[in-house]
């Protein structure tokens, strides 16, 4: 029997950890929210997707690097910028950063100096909070490599946008226009969860109508969020308040009725292949830590400030009808 390259941290004994000493090992952890994803998906959606992606990518890397071991920690369900609806659990960015920083330092001091942090949540403050934690750990622990995997992918593939329609339309067998604005609980995420969680997805998904911020802007004669596949810095900044206002009213964006388990399998295959390719380059030193950041990193001083966070949380909590 071929040994599984991924070990579950929770099941390891003291003897197991002793055997891992000196072996090339990568620690894995996912940090995503419990968050409402429409009327049809479980709130564990982002956590499940982050773990699916990380597991599949790690197995691809293991095939290319025989002898490399992976140890997977329990997922962390702390996140900022969750949808302001009943069922979403919100944390301060400082909590997320400090928790991941403590985790990274603890692992590094034990000899686990490579940690990959997965995420499948597009909240700007959440993304940057993870990046900040990774940067702090690498400053405090020379030689440690704590990689914000989702941020690296955003920078390489979408330029900071959570809309991956130009990447996923072909593997899903759809026209790219069908996936425009499909960023939360739409065809992509519903397909992934039909593939990964099966009957955790309500059959209601097949009857839900298409909804998106992009469609609303077009109907109102307003400029689109992005004029190209990669948003400009101005477009990223402009999208923040527009998305907040949209998700005060809606709990999903996209067309869930287009979803299928087969499409979810192809999405996972595509994204895990791209992730594995990036992580192999990280392991080989071909991508410097300065290139692991998302385009949102330029806004970190604003997004991580306590005043901005308090204002954003107050606006969300007072204007949202669903809390």
Q: Is the pLDDT of residue 322 over 90?
A: no
Which residue segments constitute the domains of the chain, with CATH numbers given?
Answer: 6-319 (3.40.50.10310)
Task: Convert the pLDDT of each residue in 167-182 to its tens digit.
Answer: 899 999 999 999 989 9
Task: Convert the pLDDT of each residue in 116-159 to its tens digit.
Answer: 999 999 999 999 999 999 999 999 999 999 999 999 998 888 76
% of the chain exceeding 70 in pLDDT: 93
Which residues is 322 bridged to in the sheet? Answer: 85
Task: Convert the pLDDT of each residue in 169-228 to its tens digit.
Answer: 999 999 999 998 999 999 999 999 999 999 999 999 999 999 999 999 999 898 888 776
Residue 232 confidence (pLDDT): 73
Task: Convert the pLDDT of each residue in 283-300 to its tens digit.
Answer: 999 999 999 999 899 989
Question: What is the torsion angle, in degrees rounded to the nearest 10, for the CA atoms of residue 205, residue 244, residue 35 and residue 230?
Answer: 80
Task: Convert the pLDDT of each residue in 30-58 to its tens digit.
Answer: 999 999 999 999 999 999 999 999 999 99
Task: Convert the pLDDT of each residue in 91-111 to its tens digit.
Answer: 999 999 999 999 999 999 999
| Residue of higher predicted confidence among 308 and 289 | 289
Residue 1 confidence (pLDDT): 38
The region, left, alpha or beta by phi > 0 then psi within -120 to 50, assigned to residue 96 is: alpha
Rg of the chain on CA atoms, in Å: 19
Q: Is the pLDDT of residue 318 over 90?
A: no
Residue 292 confidence (pLDDT): 95
Residue 113 confidence (pLDDT): 94
Q: Is the pLDDT of residue 233 over 80?
A: no
H or E element in which residue 28 lies: strand 25-30
**How many angstroms separate the first and last alpha carbons of the chain?**
50
Average pLDDT value for residue range 262-289: 96
């Amino acid at each position: 029997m071929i040994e599984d390259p991924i070990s579950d941290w929770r099941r390891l004994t003291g003897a197991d950890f002793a055997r891992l000493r000196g072996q090339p090992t990568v620690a894995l952890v996912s940090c995503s929210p419990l968050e409402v994803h429409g009327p049809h998906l479980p709130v564990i959606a982002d956590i499940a997707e982050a773990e699916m992606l990380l597991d599949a990518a790690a197995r691809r890397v293991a095939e290319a690097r025989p002898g490399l071991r992976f140890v997977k920690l329990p997922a962390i369900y702390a996140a900022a910028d969750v949808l302001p609806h009943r069922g979403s659990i919100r944390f301060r960015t400082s909590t997320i950063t400090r928790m991941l920083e403590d985790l990274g330092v603890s692992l590094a001091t034990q000899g686990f100096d490579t940690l990959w942090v997965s995420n499948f949540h597009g909240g700007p403050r959440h993304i940057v909070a993870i990046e900040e934690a990774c940067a702090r750990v690498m400053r405090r622990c020379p030689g440690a490599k704590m990689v914000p995997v989702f941020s690296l992918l955003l920078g390489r593939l979408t330029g900071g946008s959570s809309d991956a329609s130009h990447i996923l339309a072909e593997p899903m067998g759809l026209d790219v226009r069908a996936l425009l604005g499909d960023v939360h609980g739409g065809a992509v995420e519903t397909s992934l969860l039909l593939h990964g969680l099966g009957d955790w997805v309500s059959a209601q998904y097949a009857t839900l109508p298409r909804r998106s911020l992009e469609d609303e802007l077009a109907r109102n004669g307003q400029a689109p969020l992005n004029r190209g596949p990669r948003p400009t810095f101005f477009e990223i900044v402009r999208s923040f308040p527009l998305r907040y206002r949209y998700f005060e009213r809606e709990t999903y964006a996209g067309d869930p009725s287009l979803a299928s388990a087969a499409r979810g399998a192809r999405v996972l295959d595509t994204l895990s292949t791209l992730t594995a390719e990036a992580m192999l380059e990280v392991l080989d030193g071909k991508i410097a830590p300065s290139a692991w950041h998302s385009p949102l990193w330029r806004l970190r001083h604003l997004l991580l400030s306590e005043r901005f966070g308090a204002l954003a949380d107050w606006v969300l909590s007072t204007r949202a009808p669903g809390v």
